[in-house]
């Protein structure tokens, strides 16, 4: 797969937009001050919700701007509808069609909309997302809610796997609740978010050959395999369910075994080879760890996909989509990088923190 994964690569460079010019060029009357989730009769309006969040992400130019305001009841209904759809899906989804795969986004709403523009929109394209939708980017709630809305609108063309950030404790530590309150969210909304996240599938298998997962594999997955993973309950109901869920969300790849670690499951190349052989898989496709060019084929039977470009405005990495057609065994990569502005003298100009940075 090493040759086919890199055989058709489209690299795009997106310049950073001038804030004032971008805002003026994309002014829209669709973003309503009273809330980005207007009601239409007795039904919530998915089209308006998607359009308004998309416009807000596109127009965002600084960290001091106003945040979207959500109407509580329709947002709760949206989260409930998405949870119902995902609970009806198996823990391990089987797909035979060609798909586009996105990795970690971490609240980088700009990376999400840019990659959609480059890679195509549902329902013309079918997407598998590998988790970590919220995070430390400038639009953690908007990235998550936009994908959840698209899941409701296109349930057979958007598949959302659960990552390490789709966890109540992690989101709370990242300040998700505080930011949700700024957007008009209440405890009822937070409860609906948690229930929705627990409904997300843990993995997908493409054409019986490629395992898509957020983190990777660990001791329980090595021991019990895909067959047992298919029976994991959401939320977990047994110690094995809990362990397998944690491995899917948190496992990290290492070049060698560690004598000490942070408690997260780790796996090495030998584990990848054995797991693929034991479960009749060709490859593991995962995310979890940032890679410079957006996609990394290392070790030979694993691909790591990362989609948040210029992660936290600290890394100079590309964001990427892996487009895979398992039926004819071909793959291509669409990637883009953010082009930095011309350097200026620090005597005259102190650069601000980027919109995805944690600088204050």
DSSP class per residue in 246-275: HHHHH-EE-SS--SS-SS--EE-HHHHHHH
User: How far is it, in rounded angstroms, from Cα 236 to Cα 166?
Assistant: 14
Residue 190 neighbours by CB under 8 Å, 6+ apart: 177, 180
**Could you tell me what percent of the chain has a pLDDT over 90?**
72
Output the six-digit token pair for 242: 């809990």
Q: What is the pTM of this model?
A: 0.85
**Contact partners, residue 249, CB within 8 Å, separation at least 6:** 131, 162, 163, 164, 166, 167, 202, 214, 215
Length of the chain: 360
pLDDT tens string 90-134: 999 999 999 999 999 999 999 999 999 999 999 999 999 999 999
Band of pLDDT at residue 348, cut at 50, 70 and 90: low
DSSP class per residue in 137-171: SS-HHHHHHHHHHHHHH-TTTEEE---TTSSHHHH
Q: Locate the domains of the chain by residue range.
A: 2-339
Q: What pLDDT sits at residue 59? A: 86
- For the record, the structure tokens of 339 come out as 């082009």
- What is the distance, to the nearest Å, from the Cα of residue 182 to the centroid of all Cα atoms in its chain? 23
The superfamily in CATH containing domain 2-339 is: Metallo-dependent phosphatases (3.60.21.10)
Q: From the CA atom positions of the chain, what is the Rg in Å?
A: 20
Contact 134, 171 (CB under 8 A): yes
Say whether pLDDT at 160 is over 80.
yes
């Amino acid at each position: 797969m090493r040759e086919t994964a890199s055989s058709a690569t489209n690299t795009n460079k997106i310049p950073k937009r001038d804030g004032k010019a971008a805002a003026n060029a994309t002014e829209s009357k669709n973003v309503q001050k009273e809330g980005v989730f207007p009601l239409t009769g007795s039904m919530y309006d998915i089209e308006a919700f998607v359009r308004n969040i998309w416009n807000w992400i596109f127009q965002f130019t600084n960290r001091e701007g106003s945040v979207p305001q959500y109407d509580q009841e329709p947002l709760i209904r949206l989260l409930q509808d998405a949870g119902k759809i995902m609970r009806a899906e198996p823990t391990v989804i089987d797909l035979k069609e060609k798909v586009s795969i996105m990795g970690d986004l971490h609240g980088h709403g700009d990376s999400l909309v840019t990659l959609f523009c480059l890679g195509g929109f549902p329902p013309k394209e079918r997407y598998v997302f590998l988790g970590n939708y919220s995070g430390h980017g400038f639009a953690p709630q908007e990235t998550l809610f936009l994908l959840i809305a698209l899941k409701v609108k296109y349930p057979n063309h958007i598949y959302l796997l659960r990552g390490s950030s789709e966890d109540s404790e992690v989101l709370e530590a990242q300040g998700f609740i505080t930011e949700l309150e700024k957007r008009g969210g209440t405890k009822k909304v937070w409860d609906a978010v948690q229930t929705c996240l627990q409904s997300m599938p843990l993995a997908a298998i493409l054409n019986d050959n490629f395992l898509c997962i957020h983190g990777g594999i660990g001791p329980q997955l090595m021991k019990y395999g895909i067959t047992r993973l298919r029976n994991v309950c959401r939320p977990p109901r047994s110690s094995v369910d809990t362990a397998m869920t944690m491995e899917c969300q948190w496992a990290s790849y290492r070049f060698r075994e560690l004598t000490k670690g942070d408690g997260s499951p780790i796996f090495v190349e030998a584990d990848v080879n054995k797991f693929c052989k034991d479960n009749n898989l060709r490859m593991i496709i995962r995310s979890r760890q940032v890679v410079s060019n957006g996609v990394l084929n290392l070790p030979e039977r694993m691909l790591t996909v990362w989609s948040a470009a210029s992660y936290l405005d600290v890394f100079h990495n590309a964001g990427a989509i892996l487009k895979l057609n398992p039926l004819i065994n071909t793959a291509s990569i669409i990637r883009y990088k953010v082009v930095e502005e011309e350097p200026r003298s620090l005597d005259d100009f102190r650069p601000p923190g980027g919109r995805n940075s944690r600088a204050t």
